[in-house]
Structure 1
Amino acid sequence: MITEIPVKINVKTTIDDQETFELVVFGRAYHKGDAFFLRYEEVLEEGTVRTIVKVATEEALILRAGAVKMRLPFRLHKKLRGSYEMPFGTFETLTLARRIEHKEGLIDIVYDFTMQGTPSGTYHLEITFQEDIK
């Protein structure tokens, strides 16, 4: 049986050490097999987006569904194809993970991001989370 823990999640994305975006949401954390998962929803102008972050040894995956559809796979030092779907079309993405760390309360991913063949910069995704005690 999978035990899900309610968590408060802080998602911080920094692009090229210049632009920073931060999001605070509530979600669930759980282990399944040798992987760790975070699941949360965010409400955007376009609608609700459901996000699942999966982390295992040297690899990670971010899946988003709903108003925004995205599949971003990561494997340490490997280029992987993904996709970003918007109302006007689907874009091919490429990620090259430079760092994937997961420890208690933290998922830390640094990666080079390319969309439709154009480099978009180096992204630092820092997800911190803690049990949400009501």
Structure 2
Amino acid sequence: MNKPIKRRLRLTFQTNIELQGELDSYEFSTEGELYHKGTQDYLRFTETFGVDKNVQTTMKWDGEELTLIRQGDVLMRQTFVQNKETLGRYVTTEASWETKAETEVVLVQWPTIQKPRGRIYIRYRFWLAGQETGSHEVRLKLEEADD
């Protein structure tokens, strides 16, 4: 059995959310790991919210579905499939809600030896507990980390 090869990446994560003409944005940079297991690719990194809230984030890609999995102070699982509606779940210590995404675009380009930069782009409309939260654009810029 071969152990999956892990590659360190630097990444910039940017989200833009538009709801009723209002735009909300946030961005952060961190390092993560990209590895292949079975027929799927995994990108894993840590998100920090506020002063002391950390969430381990995994993006799983099988060539068609991109699944976002967050574990830590927030639990979330949401799959994105281009031109499809998908259901998910968002959980905090206070409550658990169903989520829904209507995904317009999913683009995944991993860095390669020939092209050391990659990207992930998702554009979707999102609902939390039946309430629309707006149109979301998520962009990740990926780059091979120097050892």
- Kindly report the root-mean-square deviation, in angstroms, between the aligned alpha carbons of the 2 structures: 1.6
| 1:26 matched to 2:31 | yes
| 1:123 matched to 2:136 | yes
**Structure 1 gaps, min length 5:** none
- How much has 1:27 moved relative to structure 2? 1.0
**Structure 2 gaps, min length 5:** 111-117
Q: What is the percentage of aligned positions where both structures have the same residue?
A: 26
Give the TM-score of the pair, scaled to structure 2. Answer: 0.84
Aligned residues: 134
- How much has 1:59 moved relative to structure 2? 1.4
- Summarize deviations over 1:81-112 as a string: whole Å, max 9, x none: 11111121001100111000111310111111
Q: Secondary structure at the match of 1:36?
A: strand
Higher-Rg member (1/2): 2
CA distance in 2, matches of 1:97, 1:37: 20
Give the TM-score of the pair, scaled to structure 1. Answer: 0.91
CA distance in 2, matches of 1:111, 1:7: 25
Residues 1-134 of structure 1: pairs in structure 2 closer than 5 A: 1-16=3-18, 18-44=23-49, 45-104=51-110, 105-134=118-147
- How much has 1:31 moved relative to structure 2? 2.1
- How much has 1:5 moved relative to structure 2? 0.5
